Structure 1
Amino acid sequence: MSDQENTHALDGPINLTFYRYLLPSIVGLLAMTSASLVDGIFIGNFIGVPALAAVNLIIPILSLLFGVGLMLSIGGSVRAGKFLGEKNPAAASAIFSKTLIAVLIYATVVIALGLIFERQLFRLLGADADLMRLMSEYYRVVMPFFFAQLGTIVLYFFIRLDGYPSLTAAALVVGSVINIALDYLFIAHFQWGISGAAWATGLSQMFPLLVLLGYFFTKQRKLRFSIKQSNWYEVIQAAYNGISEFINEISGGIIAFLFNLMLIHRAGVDGVAAMTVMNYLMMMGFMVFFAIGDTSQVMMSQNFGARNGKRMNAFFYVAAANVLAISAICISLLLFFNEPLILIFLSDQNSDLALGLANEFIHYVWPLFLFAGFNMLISGYLTSVHLAFQSGVVALSRSLLLPATLLVTLYFLIDDYRFIYALALGEALTFALALFYLMRHRPSKVLQQTAPKLSDGMV
């Protein structure tokens, strides 16, 4: 039996449907995240702290470029979800086709420009000559594979929307397993250094795309691809609805850029490496939050199109309960198992300063898990009901405006590393704003505003 028959967002059992979408998503995203974590483990243990810092310095570039593709993909899939809820697969197929074409054209352009202006970008990121050499070894190999990565992200969101979460999870798992195997082969066995890490990452990005292409041979699929399209302005309209995800992605790069400058000034390469370890540790929890928010977004966008407010409420409550549980798990791990987690990435042969800083940073970062998952969930909900402005405000507040303002302020007020508290404080302030928007735009009110004459008896 196909995933479509098993998991129906519009009429399936709430808990069963939610978890049948969520669990494959978590498996796939954690597989993808574990590949990044294994990259960090091999780089930190076999290449060294400078290489770990070099990879982290490249993050702002990749975040900015990836953010546009993510915005187009999520915005397009949310729009397609509404069309599917309205029983209009032709319109959903049109936005799917236009999104995929637009993202692939975008990927071609940014790869070329990114390689042409490589040196200028590295100087902007504050790298010295030694770090620029390491960054270049990694960057020149990874960038051409960006085409496959963006193609994968489009197919991931649309294929999940069409009811094939197991296929998307399998694709990410395949990519992760291959990445881990290539990391061992290229870094530990052949000792190719940071270029080996780049080749492992780049080559492994090809395989999820190949797996997802199998979707086009599925007869039961609702989404059909056609290169002949009109009304290309619809892509821009859809992209606007994915603006919160774009903001989240590029803001992460900007915040990483600020952090790197501050840490290079106060602790040098060891500080950047320590923050890289923190990023790896936070990545697992954030990916699970993303999976929960993305799953609820798939459920609610279709029920928004079908005008089923009760199911929208039910899916939101299930998602919120899962966010609460994951938050508790992440906080417990960071507080009680911090040293073993750090030593996964930094062996005893690495700098003692990097080890000590990573341990200190954990105590400044863990409170953000009290609020981050709920902020991501609410932002995703607002996107699913086409409140792009409100979703964008929440995303911009939590990922850029508040943390950047607080980082700069605390950096000049405090002489040590406690300015890192800015991350948790920014999430807490954003949570108050997100709750305000949620109460003001809960499903019953949103559906009344979009069709005042209809009443669905929602709570």
Structure 2
Amino acid sequence: MNQTNSIFRTFLKYVSANIFGMIGLSCYILADTFFIARGVGADGLTALNLAIPVYSFLNGLGLMVGIGGATRFSIAGGSGDKAARRTIFTQAFCFMLCLASVFFIAGLFFPYRLAALLGADASILPLTGVYLRILMLFTPMFMMNNLLIAFVRNDGRPQLSMTAMLLGSLSNIILDYILIFPFQLGMAGAALATGIAPVISILILSRHFIKKENQFHFCRTKVHFKSIRDICSLGVSSLIVEVSSGIVMIIFNMLILKDSGNLGVAAYGILANIALVLISIFTGISQGIQPVLSKCFGKREDTNIKKVLRYALTASVIFALISYGCTYLFSDPIVELFNKEHDTALHAIAVEGMHLYFTAFLFVGINIITAAYFSSIAKPGNAFLISCLRGFLLVIPLAFLLSALFGLTGIWLTVPVAEALVTVTAVFLLMRSRH
């Protein structure tokens, strides 16, 4: 088998597994959206949409530690740095526990205050507060799941990572139905289902340790702040993407509440959660190429690095065209899945928003993959710039500007305009790095 076929097969092995796995992982919140829409109604959708930024924050921190640590693990393996390869998992695990404890304590004592800060009014506050409390108490499980998924994937087992993500998501869907409908637990049931899902995923990932197939282990070592800083720098682009999506959602909720009230926020909740699933395809590609690129970088295989990047960008463009075409043609039935009361106003807002907001897919994949490429080859500065630009540096000012000029239509156009501008920057950085 020649080298081109070998690297292409490796690309397919990792990317296909991660696309399916990330779609499954993204369905955590989408399942909540669907069942809350059917079981609680528009108020439940609004409450969920106000709570999702917190999920973005805790998930982003988990991804930062997991992907950052696993990237260093792979680079160290390729370059023969045995000391870093031996201790990096323990360093990442200890740091993850510190971060998770902050969310756990906040969920235990301050969920309703946090819900009020996120914009929940008197009618929505009880629903948002109970969802946040349960969600944040499961923070250690969410972060541990992100850590193990990344390390197992980089340890040569992308299929096991995929299986864990898919079965965790499937358990969430089943539990959502059971706890919301037969048990009549409403928002609390949705939060419990979402919190139990990563526990199922962790149990599946434990096979990697039980079978003693793992090359990463716990070891006796002091916490090294240099290692923590290195983990953060390599994983920070993942954090920026998740955290900024939470910040942007808060800003959008505020602007939409002012323009269209709770109904507009409910419509945005439908779009945002469908977008999470579709964007997970691009995230799956980016996380799939990360172990391959990092190993090639450690071994100085420049030709293979270029090939993997080309395969990833081509796949993202194809997926973008398919995603937008499907959501445009089938926007009406998609929206109706989440419209329990068949509210014509909600339907109209959501369909118009879908046609405009989802044009961002044509640029999102290029930006996500380019950021992952730079992180994987130890150029975190470029990855950080792309992530910040697409995260909040462009989106937030554009949201205020376009909403002032065009109202709700301007809000729907904010993300596509921002992503298009970031793509120009990403292409420039790619061209410069090649030279």
Q: TM-score with structure 1 length normalisation? A: 0.91
| Structure 2 match to 1:406 | 398
Tell me which residue corresponds to 2:7.
14
Which of 94, 106, 117 is the equivalent residue of 1:124? Answer: 117
Q: Please name the residue that 2:323 is paired with.
A: 330
Shift of 1:124: 1.8
Between the aligned partners of 1:166 and 1:17, the Cα distance in structure 2 is: 12
Whole-angstrom CA distance in 1 between matches of 2:350 and 2:390: 23
- Correspondent of 1:393 among 385, 389, 397: 385
Q: Say which SS state the counterpart of residue 317 (structure 1) adopts.
A: helix
Report the CA distance between 1:116 and its aligned residue.
2.4
- The structure-2 alpha-carbon separation of the partners of 1:416 and 1:94, relative to structure 1 and needing over 3 Å to count, comes to closer
**Structure 2 residue 370 is matched with structure 1 residue 378:** yes
Name the % identity.
Answer: 30
Alignment of 1:141-180 (within 5 A): 141-180=134-173
Does the aligned pair in 1 maintain the 2:107–2:132 contact within 8 Å?
no
Q: Are positions 1:82 and 2:75 aligned together?
A: yes
Q: Is the 8 A contact 1:76 1:242 kept in 2?
A: yes
Matched residue type, 2:418:
G
Alignment-mate amino acid for residue 424 of structure 1: P
**How far has the Cα of 1:31 moved from its partner?**
1.7
Contact 1:346 1:355 in 2 (8 A): yes
CA contact (8 A) 2:35 2:180 kept: yes
1:367 aligned to which of 344, 359, 369: 359
Instruction: Summarize the alignment of residues 183-262 of structure 1 with structure 2, pairs less than 5 Å apart.
Output: 183-262=176-255
Partners in 2 of 1:372 and 1:416 — Cα distance?
21
Deviation string, structure 1 residues 54-84 (Cα, Å, up to 9, x no partner): 0110122222233222222221111111101
Q: Which residue of 2 aligns with 1:434?
A: 426
Tell me the equivalent position of 2:413: 421
Q: Please report how far the alpha carbon of residue 359 of structure 1 lies from its aligned counterpart in structure 2 after TM superposition.
A: 0.6
1:242-265 superposed Cα distances (whole Å, 9 cap, x missing partner): 221111111101100011001111
Partner amino acid for 1:268?
G
The offset of 1:392, in angstroms, is 0.7
In the alignment, is the contact (CA less than 8 A) between 2:43 and 2:124 conserved in 1? yes
Q: How much has 1:149 moved relative to structure 2?
A: 0.8
Match of 1:7 in 2: none
The alpha-carbon deviation at position 350 of structure 1 amounts to 4.2
Q: Is the 8 A contact 2:53 2:250 kept in 1?
A: yes
Q: Paired residue for 1:267?
A: 260
Q: Distance in 1 between matches of 2:43 and 2:90?
A: 43
Task: Give the counterpart of 1:53 among 35, 39, 46.
Answer: 46
Q: 1:412 to 1:174 in 2, by over 3 A?
A: same
Q: Distance in 1 between matches of 2:6 and 2:248?
A: 41
Runs of 4+ in 1 over 6 A off after TM superposition: none
For 2:73 and 2:5, locate their aligned partners in 1 and report how far apart those are by CA, in whole Å: 20
SS of the residue aligned with 1:105? helix
1:303 to 273, 296, 300: 296
Aligned-residue CA RMSD (Å): 1.7
Q: Give TM-score scaled by structure 2 length.
A: 0.95
Q: Report the Cα distance in structure 2 between the residues aligned to 1:80 and 1:208, rounded to whole angstroms.
A: 22
Judged with a 3 Å threshold, the aligned counterparts in structure 2 of structure 1 residues 34 and 63 are, in CA distance, closer, same or farther, namely: closer
Cα pair distance change 1:350/1:115, threshold 3 Å? farther
Tell me, yes or no, if structure 1 residue 352 matches structure 2 residue 344. Answer: yes
Range with greater deviation from structure 2 (304-313 or 129-138)? 129-138
User: Shift in Å at residue 416 of structure 1?
Assistant: 4.2
Q: Any conservation in 1 of the 2:19–2:282 contact (CA below 8 Å)?
A: no
- Do the aligned partners of residues 226 and 294 (structure 1) sit closer, same or farther apart at CA in structure 2, a change above 3 Å counting? same
Gap regions ≥5 residues in structure 1? 1-9, 446-459
- Give the direction of change, closer, same or farther, for the CA distance of 1:227–1:286 in structure 2 (3 Å limit): farther
1:204 Cα deviation from its structure 2 partner: 2.0
2:184 aligned partner, one-letter code? Q
Separation (CA, whole Å) in 1 of partners of 2:346 and 2:130: 23
Q: Contact conserved, 2:62 with 2:142, CA < 8 A, in 1?
A: no
Q: Which amino acid aligns with 2:432?
A: R
Alpha-carbon deviation of 1:230? 4.9
Query: What is the SS of the residue equivalent to 2:308?
Result: helix
Contact 1:49/1:351 (<8 A) preserved? no
